[in-house]
Amino acid sequence: MRVDRFLSNLPRYNRQQVRLLLVEKRVRIDGKVVSDPHSEVLEFSRVEVDEQVLQPGKPARYFMLHKPQGCVSATRDPQHPTVLDLIDEPDKDDLHIAGRLDFNTTGLMLLTNDGNWSRRLTQPQTKLPKVYHVETEQEISAEYALKFAEGIYFAFEDLTTQPAHLQVLGPKVARLSIVEGRYHQVKRMFGYFDNKVLRLHRESIGPLQLDNALKPGEYRALCTEEIHGF
């Protein structure tokens, strides 16, 4: 089979991505870099992208989960239930989380066994907006939106956050859109104003919206459009 067809048959790549992978010389067949889309993949060829071997025996899998409160965004934890405990799938130990949430944060969480896909989704260069519904202890003044749009200095990382968009929905309720995923980012942004976040819920990541039909703790597989939608 031609290598371009072999790659675009995998759910993780669309045709345009395959063309790019080949042009950028990121594909190897049996250890040799190939850029010609006609290069042959034989039955026992070893195909790699960015040094990751593509295993035809293990299909790529993608799930969205409605993370409930009180569960850890990790695949293993000695004390608490993890998001993986909510998944009932064969080979679930191959899955990893694309974009963690804090213990008490709820909402959209993505799990996959496709490292290229999760890297593309989470890397700051992709600039996918992550949208959060936020409830706070104190009132949210007009000043917040200006400061969040300007960026907040995080001393620990020695960086200023990317411009973020705040929509105030009520005295202590807002929707915040950020393009990064720094450690405790939303809580630290509100922390700049000494305002504690009481509830935090992720509604979407880029074009992927949490399915309203999913109750906390439930999950479903992503459809093809969702997988290729960003």
For position 48 contacting ligand URA by CB under 6 A, the verdict is: no
- Identify which of 106, 111, 103 has the alpha carbon closest to the alpha carbon of residue 203: 106
User: In this chain, which of 77, 94, 102, 180 binds ligand URA, going by CB under 6 A?
Assistant: 102
CA atoms within 13 A on the CB side of 188: 17
- Could you tell me where the beta strands, DSSP code E, fall in the chain? 27-29, 32-33, 47-49, 52-53, 62-67, 96-98, 106-112, 130-136, 153-154, 159-160, 165-170, 173-178, 197-205, 208-209, 219-221
Q: Which two tokens stand for residue 59?
A: 């299909």
Per-residue contact string for residues 160-199; x = within reach of ligand URA by CB under 6 A: ------------------------xxxx------------
From the list 91, 102, 158, 211, the catalytic residue is 102
- The full DSSP string for 80-94 is S-BGGGG---TTGGG
Per-residue contact string for residues 104-123; x = within reach of ligand URA by CB under 6 A: -x------------------
Judged by beta carbon, residue 159 or residue 221, the one nearer ligand URA is 159
Total binding residues for ligand URA by CB under 6 A? 8
| Cβ-contact 166, 189 below 8 angstroms | no
Judged by beta carbon, residue 18 or residue 86, the one nearer ligand URA is 86
Does the annotation mark 102 as catalytic?
A: yes
For position 101 contacting ligand URA by CB under 6 A, the verdict is: yes
For position 80 contacting ligand URA by CB under 6 A, the verdict is: no
Give me the residues that bind ligand URA (CB under 6 A), please.
101-102, 105, 184-187, 200
